[in-house]
Structure 1
């Protein structure tokens, strides 16, 4: 896997590599090519280094006898960020780091799969960053992001779209979906909009009045 750093502009999305299921080398390569900043959580560092990826920031609480100094020489220059706060996940700490640097957006990989508790937490925690940073979580089968109150995007027919509420979301309406919503309410654990699809080639529009709604672009 070649190094990144083709782009150097804080307006491009940073890339955060967590420690869930690895994605394909194709997806990883595409994201590295356009990422000006690569942040790796300490739990994933050894896996990332084995792929020959140049890391800009190594971040975590460095527990379990993890020694970040081992990577200073091979990854020079690298910033090491110690984040001992046990009230937040390492992914949240990485997002906080980007917010502090005023970087407007981030792609996140290796954040799903493996442990179910980590997957659920990583996906739903997007909601707390609504006003702070744009976040997209990707794996080989899904692209997940938090919807603004009004959303419009072109999709080809039969694209799989799932609408997953974080808690309760009210006043949801859509256009150009196979199963339309009209001023509907979705509640996590009771009623979600999983496995909907695009009716025909064209613009899909989705609006909601209250709550936090995740859109998942999915493929089998």
Structure 2
């Protein structure tokens, strides 16, 4: 007897690509699960050359790009965080993957202070992978010696992590726990 698992679009976090660096492997891994893929219009040639199905585009209202399909995310550049959050909440996504440069990531994180994201955002940037958790507590399993940076200044408590220079590493296989005073945690995985 065989069993089949049907994945609805909302079960897998969408992948939003504003910019690519040397991270095609990360995109390929995520796309193996068939999530929704939205890209900046100028990225269309790259994705087409890799024979990758695109579900829609990331279009700024200020751009003169004529894309009027239902799958695209049309946003206001000065309020991108709000547009992404509103779009994700409407689709009931549980997380979002965003490929962008570190400047756009910083802008979205700064805008997050005004927009209360309710779901995690995983950024793949020119400087690495970052996870923004919209909570003051975080718990996740990692292998022994895995390294992360906690980019918060308001750390209250950590568990199963040891300080290593500027970052932290796991003391043993298992769950880490991080608690901060603020309303979100930002970590960089190494």
Aligned partner of 1:117 in structure 2 is: 103
Q: How many residues align?
A: 184
Which 5+ residue runs of structure 1 have no aligned equivalent? 1-5, 70-77, 181-192
Q: Provide the TM-score with structure 1 as the length reference.
A: 0.66
Q: Provide the TM-score with structure 2 as the length reference.
A: 0.75
Alignment of 1:32-47 (within 5 A): 32-47=31-46
Please say if residues 155 and 204 of structure 1, whose CA atoms lie closer than 8 Å, have aligned partners that are also in contact. yes
Q: Deviations over 1:26-83 (max 9, x none)?
A: 32221111133112233433333332211112231265654448xxxxxxxx635473
Q: Deviations over 1:165-187 (max 9, x none)?
A: 2xxx535211221129xxxxxxx
Aligned partner of 2:129 in structure 1 is: 142
Aligned: 1:83 with 2:74: yes
Aligned: 1:195 with 2:167: yes
Which 5+ residue runs of structure 2 have no aligned equivalent? 1-5
Secondary structure, counterpart of 1:204 in structure 2: strand
Q: Deviations over 1:13-33 (max 9, x none)?
A: 112112242513x32221111
Among candidates 169, 173, 176, match of residue 160 of structure 2: 176
How far off is 1:123 after superposition? 4.8
Q: Deviations over 1:175-215 (max 9, x none)?
A: 221129xxxxxxxxxxxx94222223332211123343202
Aligned partner of 2:141 in structure 1 is: 154
Among candidates 91, 102, 122, match of residue 101 of structure 1: 91
What RMSD, in angstroms, separates the aligned Cα atoms of the two structures?
Answer: 3.2
Aligned partner of 1:187 in structure 2 is: none
Aligned partner of 1:55 in structure 2 is: 54
Closer/same/farther in 2, CA of residues 84 and 128 from structure 1, 3 Å limit: closer
